[in-house]
Structure 1
């Protein structure tokens, strides 16, 4: 009996969180978080202030919840892919990543290009760079830490730049086209490790 009662509550909670998330994203596309009021958000999504405070303490807390959720989803995506094979089989990973980004286009565009606070962007970069460092250091054991660090930074910054451009252009190109481009860049760029050191 308790289980039967639990599901409607869970659905209402998920629905409210979704409304708050979408409402804040919509407002942040037009103005900074410092210009948004809780009153403005709750009126937009048609809930009361008391309900808002059940889910977060203020607008910054709500934004951080949204960022943390996205970070967790992206981290899980990295962890569930075989990073040891990522350089050799990067196309399926990029397809999965780009589908996620297209499904969450407004949020990704906001967090990658429009927010004044670069904390999320920098945290995302560091997370992926660390993952890339571990991958490249396993694949190319003859190289050194500086080479792994610089190539990881170059690859991650470049890939994020391509994705930002794709988002800013209204993701007109197909996911397959962008995934192919990123795959070629990664696979050909990794030949860097085969070059003799100076």
Structure 2
């Protein structure tokens, strides 16, 4: 068999296993999901599962890490010190989240049992600390509070948006988040949601 066929088969198997786990997470908590159930849903035998993943924890971590890596790529593409770039990056990131809505809702709902939300926060914190609001003159403790405030607020706004059916388009959400970050509540243009 050619390596191309093997690669396609490997990709397909991993895709089916990921989809099966996500479907199970719609019905039950992660602590109740077994490898046997994932394999039954995927119509794959357990030895095939173990050829790809150690257990269901590694499978879930792989799903989380793929999204986190995509986030890092979006965030590293833009210079967040430039307002236009920050807005473009936020819009691209929100559009990506919209495309991954189902996965993100599932992953954020199991976040008590997984590290997904923590990983998202760490990526955002690293990006903000490296080039956005933190300057050499900023007090280290103050900068920690600022980044925690910005990240927590942004994550919760995005969760509300995803769970609420994403009624507003990504560009409006990006504008809202960036205005809140850059200008606070009183400096924000509230006319963006007519």
- Off by >6 Å, runs of 4+ in structure 1: none
Number of the residue aligned with 1:134: 130
Q: Is residue 173 from structure 1 mapped to residue 168 from structure 2 by the alignment?
A: yes
Distance 1:116 1:71 in 2: 17
**1:1-198 to 2 correspondence within 5 Å?**
5-85=2-82, 87=83, 89-135=85-131, 136-138=133-135, 141-189=136-184
Distance 1:115 1:142 in 2: 35
Distance 1:83 1:95 in 2: 13
TM-score (norm 1): 0.84
Q: Alpha-carbon deviation of 1:118?
A: 4.7
Gaps of 5+ in 2: 188-194
- Could you say what the CA RMSD is over the residues aligned between the two structures, in angstroms? 2.3
TM-score (norm 2): 0.85
Gaps of 5+ in 1: 193-198
Instruction: Report which of the two has the higher share of helix.
Output: 1
Q: Alpha-carbon deviation of 1:116?
A: 2.7
Q: Alpha-carbon deviation of 1:190?
A: 10
Rate the CA distance shift 1:114–1:167 in 2: closer, same or farther, 3 A. farther
Rate the CA distance shift 1:42–1:118 in 2: closer, same or farther, 3 A. closer
Q: Secondary structure at the match of 2:166?
A: coil
By relative contact order (CA 8 Å, sep 6+), the higher-ranking structure is 1
